[in-house]
């Protein structure tokens, strides 16, 4: 008789399975690529076209992008368009970099900036004043100058929007590299 065959095993497996709701709210962390992985993300596709990168050029891009995958794609595309011979050189990267930054400013960064309220713009600009980060919430408050408690709702809103995150209690960091530099370009003066 086949009815019930395998039922104990099935019940055991079902007990270990996650519910739909548990899977729905399970957010895996996807961070930057390691230096090696970032270098491979740039060099492996070009190798298929018989184009190599010299080590200095790879290091410049990996350092600039901090391994952030989307930025690697942008740099790779623009460097590929600039380079006229193999190997791709640091000179090719230097020529492409202002083009990449302008493209990121107009699309990637601008879209995020445009979603911010004036208070949120001031908060992230204050973070940018302190540099890449992470920064203590109290340090950001001191730049503005405001009380930490007064800035709590703004900080929470920025975290909810995915603009910043809290790597530790009381710490605040940008979710993407180079946003501090963008903020200084788009808002040269810190508004208090």
Whether residue 7 is contained in a domain is answered as no
Sheet containing strand 171-174, strands side by side: 135-136, 171-174, 164-165
- The position carrying tokens 């990267």 is 93
Whether residue 9 is contained in a domain is answered as no
DSSP 168: S
* 19 pLDDT higher than 60: no
pLDDT for position 192: 77
Encoded tokens for 47: 């190798």
* 112 pLDDT higher than 70: yes
Q: How many domains does the chain have?
A: 2
Confidence of residue 16 (pLDDT cuts 50, 70, 90): low
Does residue 126 contact residue 94 with C-beta atoms inside 8 Å? no
Same domain for 137 and 179: yes
Residue 65: closest CA among 95, 92, 101, 105: 101
**What is the domain range of residue 70?**
35-103
* 116 pLDDT higher than 60: yes
**How many C-beta neighbours within 10 Å does residue 116 have?**
18
């Amino acid at each position: 008789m086949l009815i019930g065959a395998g039922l104990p095993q099935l019940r055991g497996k079902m007990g270990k399975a996650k519910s739909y709701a548990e899977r729905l709210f399970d957010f895996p962390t996807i961070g930057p690529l390691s230096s090696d992985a970032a270098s491979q993300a740039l060099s492996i596709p070009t190798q298929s076209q018989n184009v190599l990168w010299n080590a200095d050029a790879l290091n410049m891009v990996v350092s600039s992008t901090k391994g952030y995958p989307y930025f690697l794609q942008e740099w790779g595309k623009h460097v590929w368009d600039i380079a006229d011979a193999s190997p791709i050189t640091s000179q090719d990267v230097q020529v492409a970099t202002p083009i990449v930054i302008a493209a990121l400013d107009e699309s990637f960064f601008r879209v995020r900036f445009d979603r911010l309220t004036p208070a949120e713009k001031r908060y992230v600009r204050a973070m940018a004043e302190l540099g890449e980060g992470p920064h203590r919430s109290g340090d950001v408050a001191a730049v503005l100058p405001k009380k930490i408690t007064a800035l709590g709702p703004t900080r929470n809103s920025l975290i909810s929007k995915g603009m910043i995150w809290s790597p530790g209690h009381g710490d605040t960091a940008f979710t993407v590299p180079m946003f501090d530099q963008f903020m200084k370009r788009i808002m040269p003066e810190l508004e208090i």
